[in-house]
Amino acid sequence: MVFQNNKNYNGILLLDKPKGISSNGILQQIKKIFLAKKAGYTGSLDPMATGMLPILFGNATKFSKYLTDSAKKYHVIAKLGETTSTGDLSGKKLKIKSININTNDIYKILNSFIGEIYQVPPMFSAIKYNGIPLYKYARLGILVPRKKRKLFIYKINFIQFVNPFLEFTVICSKGTYIRSLVNDIGNKLFCGGHVIFLRRLYIKPYNSSKLVTLSNLHFIENKNIEQIHKFYLFNMLNTFLLPVSSFFFKYPIIKILHSDINNFQKKIKIALNFFSTIGLVQVITKKNNIFLGIGKINKFGILTPKCVLCS
């Protein structure tokens, strides 16, 4: 028996993506479980990767940019001495080199990547060239030019090196390809390397305590589909979602009057009588503390709506 869900979900699901499925593939499963009309993900993970994958429902999709721009932390295990066509286990072996390195060499090389770096995206990626994803060219054996992109590595924490396996964690900016990072580390160590394990531990400001597994969702779905009314099924699945405002909890709060709500939702600038901060802020209603979206206040006290929850 399949219930038709006449309610719309709004919020963020921090899914613990399982190994062996693409980000889009898991999204389709989630949409089916939730019977969601509108959902998307941000911060794509490779099929071999696991960990935090934010699924955005309903109005939350408007705020995907902010999650995409956030710093991310990964747990990585690389196999040194071998390079592959994809930069991970799924590719064909291209080169095999001997490994002649010690722990001091590794510390030095890893530390050299901390800070601003430039990275060439891998051919097996969703970045587009002439409107076509790079991975489609790669599957045809076509190499196309790729521009270096500026990134930032905030921290690399060396865990261990058990020849030929190098294990570390990395905190990095948006757009960082761990496969490319491992390839570059391997090149600096003069032995090459590829990723054999990758797990996203967090996307700022969320931590792993908020993760929900696919099995959790299937359990609720299977348990309730026959036993309880669809209203309760909706409510139980809804408990897994975080409100959009949870992402912005560290932003300063500005409260606006009821008379200004309509203008904010229509993205009309508002002149504030009082303000104590400049820059990006959470905008909530003064009366009921309802989150309306994100705005930006300039030095003259003009509030410009940037992303609104509803309009």
Residue 233 has pLDDT above 90, yes or no: no
Please give the Cα distance from 307 to 250 (Å, whole number).
17
- Ranked by mean pLDDT, the top range of 66-70, 90-94, 183-187, 222-226 is 183-187
Tell which wins on pLDDT, 152 or 216.
152
Same-domain check for residues 191 and 218 = no
Q: Which of 16, 46, 184, 260 is catalytic?
A: 46
Q: Would residue 238 count as lying in a domain? A: yes
Residue with tokens 């200004």, as numbered in its chain: 260
Question: Looking at the structure, do residues 212 and 193 belong to the same domain, yes or no?
Answer: no
The number of folded domains in the chain is: 3
**97 plus 126 within the same structural domain:** yes
- Looking at the structure, do residues 227 and 270 belong to the same domain, yes or no? no
Q: Looking at the structure, do residues 239 and 295 belong to the same domain, yes or no?
A: no
User: Same domain for 145 and 191?
Assistant: yes
Are both 188 and 239 inside the same structural domain? Answer: no
State the residue range of the domain holding 281.
Answer: 251-308
Same structural domain for residues 117 and 133? yes
- Over 60: is that where the pLDDT of 107 sits? yes
Considering the domain boundaries, does residue 282 fall inside one? yes
Q: Could you read off the pLDDT of 204-222 as tens digits, one per residue?
A: 999 999 999 998 888 766 6
Residue 105 is among the residues annotated as catalytic for this protein: no
Is residue 6 a part of any domain in this protein?
no
Whether this prediction's pTM lies above 0.85 is answered by yes
Domain boundary among 215, 243, 271: 243
Q: What is the CATH number of the domain that holds 279?
A: 2.30.130.10
Residues 79 and 125 in one domain: yes
* 202 among annotated binding-site residues: no
Q: Give pLDDT tens digits for 264-289.
A: 999 999 999 888 889 999 999 998 89
**What is the pLDDT at residue 1?**
29
Does one domain contain both 232 and 288?
A: no
Q: Does residue 300 belong to any structural domain of this protein?
A: yes
Same domain assignment for residues 104 and 190: yes
Which of 116, 104, 82 minimizes the C-alpha distance to 186?
82
pLDDT score recorded for residue 4? 43
Say if residue 241 carries a ligand binding annotation.
Answer: no
Please give the structure tokens belonging to residue 87.
Answer: 């930069």
Residue 45 located in a structural domain: yes
Task: For residue 51, give the CATH number of its domain.
Answer: 3.30.2350.10
What are 2-49's pLDDT values in tens digits?
334 546 789 999 999 999 999 999 999 999 888 888 999 999 999 999
Please name which of 173, 170, 151, 169 lies closest in space to residue 70, comparing C-alpha atoms. Answer: 173
Which range of 32-36, 55-59, 155-159 scores highest in mean pLDDT? It is 155-159
270 plus 258 within the same structural domain? yes
Helix H or strand E segment including 138 = helix 134-139
Any binding-site annotation on 137? no
Evaluate whether residue 4 is within a structural domain. Answer: no
174 SS3 class: coil
